[in-house]
Amino acid sequence: MIQVLDRAFDVLDYLATTDGNMAGLSQIESACGIQKTTLSNILKTMENAGYIAHPQKRKGYRLGYKFYLLAGPDYAFKRIERIAAEEMKRLHDIFSETVVLASEHKGKRVILKVLECSEGISARISHSSDIYQSATGRVILANYPEARIRAIASSIGLPEPTSWHGILSAEDLLKELAIIRKDGFSISSDHPDVKGIAVPILVGKSPVASIGVCLPKFRCTTGRIDLIRDVLGECALSLEKKITEADFME
């Protein structure tokens, strides 16, 4: 039996009894009987993974988004969709292009919400669950640990050439995802008429979703792409803060 895992589960069990209220470090230490230095390391590790939330402007800890995702993805996805609604509308109003919010579950892309472009020629997005096919899927995958990427690739296979050209091995996939992770965004242009741009929404170091804009290629000037990328980054930072501070208990 691994003692540190036992202690981590003790912390989760305790926070599950607080009904979404914040619990301070001393409170958790007293309830779980864990030495403060060890407890701080456990909390920091679980915070980085998204299982515990520690909003900067609020004192204490509570269960994080990732915990609720494991407990019931449909419930968690609906919460994140509501949290993102305002930022999605802002993107839609600024660019008048199709805006997409997506997440991942069991190696598949899950589209949480789409705001379609309603003026002129619009980019009709694919609703495929293929995690490799879109910018929103790729940017989530790029921010997973290597072990999880390999596990997903082993489970669902490598991308088909029609989904992602040039990926012939797991090493090819890891190399391309490393570039996306370093850049902080993904641009997908495999579709003949549509280009997608997406950024991850990270809680701790864990991607809980992605947000992107899809537009016809003839409107993809360099300046427009750069502007969309910058505004997407601002939206993602805002959403990361909102998700961290949101109470997922209802």
Per-residue H/E/C for 64-116? CHHHHHHHCHHHHHHHHHHHHHHHHHHHHHHHCCEEEEEEEECCEEEEEEEEC
Closest C-alpha among 199, 196, 209 to residue 242:
209
Return phi, psi of residue 63, to 5°.
-65, 145
CATH assignment of the domain containing 26? 1.10.10.10
Are 116 and 57 within one domain?
no
pLDDT score recorded for residue 205: 82
CATH assignment of the domain containing 143? 3.30.450.40
Are 94 and 212 within one domain?
yes
Are 41 and 152 within one domain?
no
Q: What is the mean pLDDT of the chain?
A: 88
pLDDT band for position 188 (cuts 50, 70, 90) = confident
Are 16 and 139 within one domain?
no
Mean pLDDT of 147-157: 95
Are 17 and 99 within one domain?
no
How far does CA 204 lie from the centroid of its chain?
Answer: 10
Domain end among 40, 63, 86: 63
pLDDT score recorded for residue 244: 80
Q: Which two tokens stand for residue 160?
A: 């088909």
d(CA 213, CA 18): 38
Bigger pLDDT: 12 vs 248: 12
pLDDT score recorded for residue 87: 96
Q: What percent of the chain has pLDDT over 90?
A: 48
Query: Would residue 250 count as lying in a domain?
Result: no
Are 51 and 90 within one domain?
no
d(CA 214, CA 187): 10
Are 146 and 238 within one domain?
yes
pTM above 0.95, yes or no: no
What domain count does the chain have? 2
Query: Would residue 146 count as lying in a domain?
Result: yes
Query: Would residue 228 count as lying in a domain?
Result: yes
Query: Would residue 96 count as lying in a domain?
Result: yes
Mean pLDDT of 225-246: 92
The residue type of 60 is G
pLDDT score recorded for residue 231: 97
pLDDT score recorded for residue 74: 84
Domain end among 46, 63, 80: 63
Are 115 and 134 within one domain?
yes
Q: Which two tokens stand for residue 81?
A: 């969709």
- 137: Cβ–Cβ under 8 A, 6 or more apart, which residues? 102, 104, 109, 130, 131, 210
Are 56 and 118 within one domain?
no
pLDDT at 71 over 90: no
Give the domain extent around 46: 3-63
Are 92 and 212 within one domain?
yes
Are 56 and 97 within one domain?
no
**Is 177 in contact with 149 (CB distance < 8 Å)?**
yes
Are 157 and 196 within one domain?
yes
How many angstroms separate the Cα of 189 from the Cα of each of 67, 192, 238?
34, 7, 27
